[in-house]
């Protein structure tokens, strides 16, 4: 009898937990969706990410992936520095019989003026889609 009771109690707890977990879908940080496009020298950025960095260091930064020139993701509202990184996938330069043979990694391809030394800023939420047309020359 106690085994049956314990199983019923455990099932009830599990169901209650799952139900409550589904009830809190709101973001406690009230993020807005930042979406738009990134081109580099007129070509959509194939692989990359954008980091939105708040002026206040106590506010978390948000990272949004860029794929085929497009991005969309949640960002905490406010004025942000915009750091854009682009990558190309390259193979590790190791001998063919090495355990690392066939390994690939992402190589950062954009100049520091678009990321670590950025002067790009944005106010989130924006009034429409964001567009970054970067030139490397």
CA distances from 48 to 43, 96, 101, 107 (A): 13, 29, 24, 10
Q: What is the pLDDT of residues 20-40, one digit of tens each?
A: 555 555 667 789 999 999 999
**Residue 50: which domain range?**
28-134
Give CA–CA dist 106/132, Å, rounded: 21
CATH assignment at residue 35:
2.60.40.1120
Q: What is the pLDDT of residues 90-115, one digit of tens each?
A: 877 777 777 877 778 889 999 999 99
Highest mean pLDDT among 15-19, 23-27, 50-54: 50-54
The better pLDDT of the pair 101, 57 is held by: 57
Q: Is residue 116 one of the residues assigned to a domain?
A: yes
pTM, full prediction: 0.74
Please check the confidence at residue 125 and state whether its pLDDT lies above 80.
yes
- Kindly state the average pLDDT of the residues 55-77: 96
At 42, list the tokens: 């007129």
Q: Is residue 128 one of the residues assigned to a domain?
A: yes
What pLDDT score was predicted for residue 92?
A: 72
User: What percentage of residues in the chain have a pLDDT greater than 70?
Assistant: 80
Name the residue among 9, 134, 115, 10 with its Cα closest to residue 63.
115
Q: Is residue 2 one of the residues assigned to a domain?
A: no
Q: Is residue 13 one of the residues assigned to a domain?
A: no
Query: How many C-alpha atoms does 52 have within 13 Å on its Cβ side?
Result: 27
Q: Is residue 23 one of the residues assigned to a domain?
A: no
Q: Is residue 15 one of the residues assigned to a domain?
A: no
**From the centroid of its chain, how far is CA 91?**
24
What pLDDT score was predicted for residue 12?
A: 54
Contact 66, 85 (CB under 8 A): no
State how many domains the chain has: 1
The better pLDDT of the pair 18, 34 is held by: 34
- Kindly state the average pLDDT of the residues 7-22: 56
């Amino acid at each position: 009898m106690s085994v049956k009771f314990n199983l019923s109690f455990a099932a009830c707890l599990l169901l209650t937990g799952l139900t409550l977990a589904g009830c809190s879908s709101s973001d406690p940080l009230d993020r807005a969706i930042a979406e738009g496009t990134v081109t580099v020298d007129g070509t959509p950025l194939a692989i990359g990410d954008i980091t939105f960095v708040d002026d206040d260091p106590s506010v978390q930064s948000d990272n949004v992936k860029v794929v085929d020139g497009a991005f969309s993701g949640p960002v905490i509202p406010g004025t942000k520095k915009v750091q854009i990184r682009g990558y190309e996938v390259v193979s590790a330069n190791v001998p063919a019989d090495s355990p690392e043979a066939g390994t690939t990694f992402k190589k950062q391809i954009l100049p520091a003026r678009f990321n670590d030394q950025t002067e790009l800023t944005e106010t989130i939420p924006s009034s429409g889609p964001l567009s970054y047309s970067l030139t490397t020359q």
